[in-house]
Structure 1
Amino acid sequence: MPSAHSRPPLRSLQVFETAARHGSFTAAGEELGITQSGVSRQVSDLEATLGVALFVRKGARLTVTPTGERLAGQLSDALSRTWSAVADARRSDQVVTLSMLPSVAARWFAPRLGTFLAENPGIDLRITASRHLVDFAAEGVDAAIRYSPSPAHDLEALKLGTETVRPVCSPDYQRTLDLNAPDDLYRATLLCGDIPEDWPAWFRAAGCESPPPPGPRLGDDGAILQAAVERQGVALGRSLLVADDIAAGRLIAPFDISLEASHAYWFVQPKGIPPTLAIESVKAWLADQFTARD
């Protein structure tokens, strides 16, 4: 007699459920990748462990007993939930929620999204664009690209790169106002943002005695650069954000005078939380992208 406390192997329960669902040991073997005799042996061992008959065998004909039907139905539901949980675990391990500034998301990352997807097809990347410093735990964010002088002490950080800042405008705007020397900017509209490198600092670097009056302040770098593309004025462009526009001819840098940015780009993630392989892959990809631009 089998012990009342004997627990059958999970594999034999799966084999039985498959055989009961198909009504055939042969079909069950084909689904599970084992032989018909292997299925029969697993079922026989399960019946011996449980002390009940699960099938009635009459020659080649196979019929599930009432006890077998009840067990198969319960196992079907349990196995379905089990495989669903496994799939969810696999998916969650491949999900990476990455925070970055809206300007970085729109003007640098978005044009490279196709490259990322092609090189990392198994990663479900979710971008959250925000100007505030996210709370990683409260907002469900795994990592971030931060633009700051240095990272916070409670974060693991990798320095991705630095940049320079210089005036940019559309080619049409440059031709219309004949902008060929820094003093020519006195007749231009100067678009202002909120980065530390401002127009007075640039005019000092250019050797001008005093800067002209500032123009409209748009705040977000993405909006400022779009205004420059649309021939609305001259912006102080961060080199990371204007590289694609310059390469495409939408913007030009009329003067070879730039400021070193006081901020750098950092890949940051909370300390004490082991990163998944997907997060490590995202970090490595970003580091490669920043290296490629140098």
Structure 2
Amino acid sequence: MRISHARPSLRSLQVFESAARCGGFTAAGAELGITQSGVSRQVADLEAILGVSLFVRNGARLRVTPAGQRLANQLAEAFSATWTAVSEAAHSDHVVTLSMLPSVAARWLAPRLERFMTAHPEIDLRITASRHLVDFAVEGVDAAIRYCPAPPSNLDAVKLADETISPVCTAEYAHKHGISHPDDLSRATLLHGDLPENWEAWFREADCAIPPQAGPRLGDDTAILQAVLNHQGVALGRSLLVADEIANSRLIMPFDVTLKASYGYWFVRPKETPNVALTAVQNWVGEAFGEA
């Protein structure tokens, strides 16, 4: 065939992809709502423009050629991506992408996710759990729950909550090691994290002379709390992240001495007018933190 310099129409490409996938012109016509002859004409025009045979015709039977199959496969991928993009564009006002620390996602949001979905079934909430501070301009994130002293001034920010820091362990661990007074922690394994409020600060607040002890250091709060739940030691727990475990008696706070955290929780987003879905998410998060 002689190659034409004309570009094929998107309609002819769609008709060909349907014919190749459906295995015939009649089935493709039924899928697209056009006649069998209309499909045949579109395919013939496409073959003329491309200068290749896309089907081998043997009477009423059709077989896709190798070149035709390669084109059909590529078109199928392209059309799938196109329809996905169209669908996402049509529903973009209902999608909210929210960033937060993995520990906040696992320990605070996950137990409350069903409540959110019940309250807002129309919102497609997408969570990115990461320790790095997202760049709203380039990462496609709408808002974030940040744990920090104060957010930067270039963002709209609403403070959600403060919290306290105190030792936590299982009742079994406290009983096994006889932990009822801060001095008893000399017999315990102390688990260390990366909070500004560390064991040395807590011992000063408790007026306890125990020097800081070496022990496992786990940078992630989720890992630390899992170790505590597995009776591996005592950790300094953030009050909002351990509240559910305390309430269901999986963890205890063996002492009343607490430290006020220097960090707080903030809901932050770019300084632009939010859509209805983002406003709903922000309001729900604020209410849920207020109940914690």
TM-score normalised over the length of structure 2:
0.70
> Which residue pairs with 2:92 in the alignment?
92
Aligned residue pair count: 212
Structure 2 letter corresponding to 1:217: R
> Residues of 2 paired with 1:124 and 1:168: CA distance?
35
Give the 5 Å matches for 1:114-193. Answer: 114-193=114-193
Q: CA deviation at 1:84?
A: 9.3
> Residues of 1 paired with 2:168 and 2:85: CA distance?
52
> Which residue pairs with 1:58 in the alignment?
none
Q: Within the alignment, does 1:292 sit opposite 2:269 as a pair?
A: no
Give the 5 Å matches for 1:240-279. Answer: 240-271=240-271, 273-279=272-278
* Larger-gyration structure (1/2): 1
> Which residue pairs with 2:32 in the alignment?
none
Q: Percent identity?
A: 62
Ranges in structure 1 where 5+ consecutive residues have no aligned partner: 1-65, 67-82
> Which residue pairs with 1:69 in the alignment?
none
Report Cα offsets for 1:198-252 as digits up to 9, x if no partner: 0000000000124341311000011001100000000000000000111111110
Structure 2 letter corresponding to 1:285: W
Asked whether the equivalents of residues 186 and 212 of structure 1 are also in contact (C-alpha less than 8 Å), the reply is: no
Structure 2 letter corresponding to 1:289: A
Asked whether the equivalents of residues 191 and 235 of structure 1 are also in contact (C-alpha less than 8 Å), the reply is: yes
Q: CA deviation at 1:86?
A: 7.9
Asked whether the equivalents of residues 186 and 210 of structure 2 are also in contact (C-alpha less than 8 Å), the reply is: no
The secondary structure found in structure 1 opposite 2:235 is: strand
> Which residue pairs with 1:109 in the alignment?
109
Report Cα offsets for 1:93-120 as digits up to 9, x if no partner: 0100000000000011000000000001
The secondary structure found in structure 1 opposite 2:91 is: helix
Q: CA deviation at 1:89?
A: 3.8
> Residues of 2 paired with 1:152 and 1:221: CA distance?
24
> Residues of 2 paired with 1:152 and 1:257: CA distance?
32
Asked whether the equivalents of residues 142 and 269 of structure 1 are also in contact (C-alpha less than 8 Å), the reply is: yes
Structure 1 letter corresponding to 2:96: V
Q: CA deviation at 1:291?
A: 1.1
Q: CA RMSD in A?
A: 1.8
The secondary structure found in structure 2 opposite 1:121 is: coil
The secondary structure found in structure 2 opposite 1:141 is: coil
Structure 1 letter corresponding to 2:198: D
The secondary structure found in structure 1 opposite 2:237 is: strand
Ranges in structure 2 where 5+ consecutive residues have no aligned partner: 1-37, 39-82
> Which residue pairs with 1:63 in the alignment?
none
Asked whether the equivalents of residues 170 and 250 of structure 1 are also in contact (C-alpha less than 8 Å), the reply is: yes
Describe the shift of the 1:84–1:172 C-alpha distance in structure 2 as closer, same or farther (beyond 3 A).
closer
Report Cα offsets for 1:35-85 as digits up to 9, x if no partner: xxxxxxxxxxxxxxxxxxxxxxxxxxxxxxx9xxxxxxxxxxxxxxxx998
Asked whether the equivalents of residues 190 and 235 of structure 1 are also in contact (C-alpha less than 8 Å), the reply is: yes
Describe the shift of the 1:146–1:84 C-alpha distance in structure 2 as closer, same or farther (beyond 3 A).
closer
> Residues of 2 paired with 1:84 and 1:173: CA distance?
52
Q: CA deviation at 1:139?
A: 1.1
Report Cα offsets for 1:159-212 as digits up to 9, x if no partner: 001000000001110110010000000110000000101000000000012434
> Which residue pairs with 1:51 in the alignment?
none
Q: CA deviation at 1:267?
A: 0.2
> Which residue pairs with 2:196 in the alignment?
196
Q: CA deviation at 1:274?
A: 1.9
Q: CA deviation at 1:270?
A: 1.1
> Which residue pairs with 2:59 in the alignment?
none
> Residues of 1 paired with 2:146 and 2:284: CA distance?
16
Asked whether the equivalents of residues 183 and 210 of structure 2 are also in contact (C-alpha less than 8 Å), the reply is: no
Structure 2 letter corresponding to 1:131: R
Asked whether the equivalents of residues 204 and 210 of structure 1 are also in contact (C-alpha less than 8 Å), the reply is: no
> Which residue pairs with 1:280 in the alignment?
279
> Residues of 2 paired with 1:104 and 1:137: CA distance?
23
Give the 5 Å matches for 1:211-230. Answer: 211-230=211-230
> Residues of 1 paired with 2:139 and 2:173: CA distance?
42
The secondary structure found in structure 1 opposite 2:186 is: helix
Structure 2 letter corresponding to 1:287: G
